[in-house]
Amino acid sequence: MRLELRGITKRFGSFTANDSIDLVVEPGQIHALLGENGAGKSTLMNTLYGLYTPDEGQILLDGRAVEFDGPGQAMAAGIGMVHQHFMLVPVFTVAENVALGHEPTAAGGLIDVTRARGAVREVAQRFGFEVDPDATVEDLPVGVQQRVEIIKALARDAQVLILDEPTAVLTPQETDELIEIMRQLRAQGTSILFITHKLREVRAVADKITVIRRGQVVGSADPSASETELASLMVGRAVQLGVEKAPARPGGVVLRVDDLTVLDAAGTAVVDRVDLEVRAGEIMAVAGVQGNGQTELAETLLGLVTPTSGSVSLDGMELDGLSVRDRLAAGLGFVPEDRSTDGVIADFTIQENLVLDLVDTPPYSRRGAIDRKLLRENAEQRVAEFDVRATSVDSTLGQLSGGNQQKVVLARELSRPLRLLVASQPTRGLDVGSIEFVHKRVVAERDKGTAVVIVSTELDEVAALADRVAVMYRGRVVGVVPGSTDRDVLGLMMAGVPLEEATAQAAAHHTTLGQADQRTARPGTPTRSQDARHQEEGR
């Protein structure tokens, strides 16, 4: 199916989210829509999917103009959409979620569960998915839940599949699996609109790239374009893809974790006898594949999780028994992994979210009365300082893009004196411009003398920010290494390989690659290791 958008315009009051956008997606094509958070990508896709009605313009399918009054009509026309935040019922099974709204019935009007299971199996087998129709969705990993969303669309004969920021909640391994699924779908004739801001993924899978900036199409590119070129096109300026920072000047120990153990509801040790020290003026990255205890470790530091044994101290003060409020007052700043659930209140305004933990204390509140003027002055100052893009400080957080919501969280946490900053997945779901901003602020906080703990599954982020890296595997810290440690070594450690063995394996691997390159390289042609090094320098 050929999809064409002509002059699509969508306004919300005086704000124009999409401004005369033209776009063509050919049959069996992966067309990437690239842009910053808030550029208008999701608005355009929600318009295509029938969630919004365009104020101007046309949608054409195989040359025929169509109008959708809702997602049901879009699905009937062959358009499916997988949203960034999954639209699944957690307590339902996979089969029940796929059938929801289109339930097959048997005699007497009862739901035919056998047919629902069969529909899941048919799509799963056709595309090589591994999904159990009887599994309960809330028990599935995030990557498998996303497959369920894709199966939902394909089970309804979607010929054009919209994937809206599909890798924002995925681990690197799950992202690789999704890219392979996209290639399988393309091979079977499905057209894909891939909405993202991750340059490496775009270059890996897209057939064509269209870039949107501030609601307008500003250009198109081939996947052969460099990351630097794509980033500049997205942001409208040169973007620093690496992180510039001076060597750390560590001071005294600020955070000390001794023999910390946390058990889950089943009695399994998700944090297993962890020892850790973080000093003033250094960034300690906690690296590992998602689900190896990093989340529980970070939440234990804040006091959201009670450890089974062990201790945590801040500047020599034992934190056991202290509330979250007390820990924040002691100088701990926390950027949560899931900002929408744990970091902000979507229905509150920007100015309210910026003082969530301070609104009942001086100077914002005196004798039970909130100083609204001071709240507004604080918000206007932070919005300007942290480049939060919003029409007003009275806007609710739910109206902001993910990147701007994250900036609000950072503005709140970094606008008070800190001794320790703990940031979990601080750039998850952010575009290159927002990532650049977040990284600079984190490094600046380190340079002020704050101890910083970054929890990240992104190896690029770990390598860029860390002064030291603690690698976690199955709840244990398998090693603490310098931030300059070879990425292959870090990757092996993340798979549970001890440091010495990982170092030996990585060295042997590099030697083998170098010998192979020397045997096969033509005169004047850079070897694979040289080429990789040049790419790294280019970033």
pLDDT at residue 14 tops 80? yes
Domain of 514? Answer: 504-538
Q: Mean pLDDT across the stretch 442-467?
A: 91
Q: Mean pLDDT across the stretch 220-247?
A: 82
pLDDT at residue 533 tops 60? no
Least confident of 92-96, 189-193, 288-292, 326-330: 288-292
45 part of a folded domain = yes
335 and 399 both lie in a single domain? yes
302 and 263 both lie in a single domain? yes
User: How remote is the C-alpha of 101 from its chain's centroid?
Assistant: 29
What 3-state DSSP class applies to 14?
coil
- Alpha-carbon distance of 301 to 470, in angstroms, equals 15
Residues 330-374 pLDDT 10s: 999 999 988 877 888 999 999 999 998 888 888 888 888 888 899
How much helix, strand and coil, in percent to the nearest 5, is found in the chain? 40, 25, 35
242 part of a folded domain = no
Number of domains in the chain: 3
322 and 454 both lie in a single domain? yes
Instruction: Return the sign of the alpha-carbon dihedral for residues 57, 61, 62, 65.
Output: negative
Q: Mean pLDDT across the stretch 511-527?
A: 50
From 186, 206, 235, give the residue that closes a domain. Answer: 235
DSSP annotation of 248 reads P
Q: DSSP letters of 87-118?
A: ---TTSBHHHHHHTTS--B-GGG-B-HHHHHH
- pLDDT of 463 reads 85
- pLDDT of 428 reads 74
Note whether 386 and 406 are within 8 A (CB).
no
User: Can you count the helices (H) and strands (E) in the chain?
Assistant: 18, 22
Instruction: Return the sign of the alpha-carbon dihedral for residues 348, 352, 358, 362.
Output: negative
- pLDDT of 525 reads 38
Please enumerate in sequence order all residues whose Cβ is within 8 A of that of 180, keeping only pairs 6 or more positions apart, or say none: none
Cis before 363 (ω within 30): yes
Q: What is the mean pLDDT of the chain?
A: 86
315 and 178 both lie in a single domain? no
Note whether 452 and 284 are within 8 A (CB).
yes
Q: Which residue has the higher pLDDT, 340 or 507?
A: 507
Q: Which residue has the higher pLDDT, 151 or 274?
A: 274
- pLDDT of 214 reads 86
pLDDT at residue 459 tops 90? no
Please report, for the domain that includes residue 155, its CATH number.
Answer: 3.40.50.300
Q: How many CB atoms lie within 10 A of CB 389?
A: 15
227 and 346 both lie in a single domain? no
90 and 145 both lie in a single domain? yes
- pLDDT of 232 reads 84
- Alpha-carbon distance of 371 to 149, in angstroms, equals 46
88 and 218 both lie in a single domain? yes
- Alpha-carbon distance of 148 to 120, in angstroms, equals 9
Q: 480 falls in which pLDDT band (50, 70, 90)? A: very high
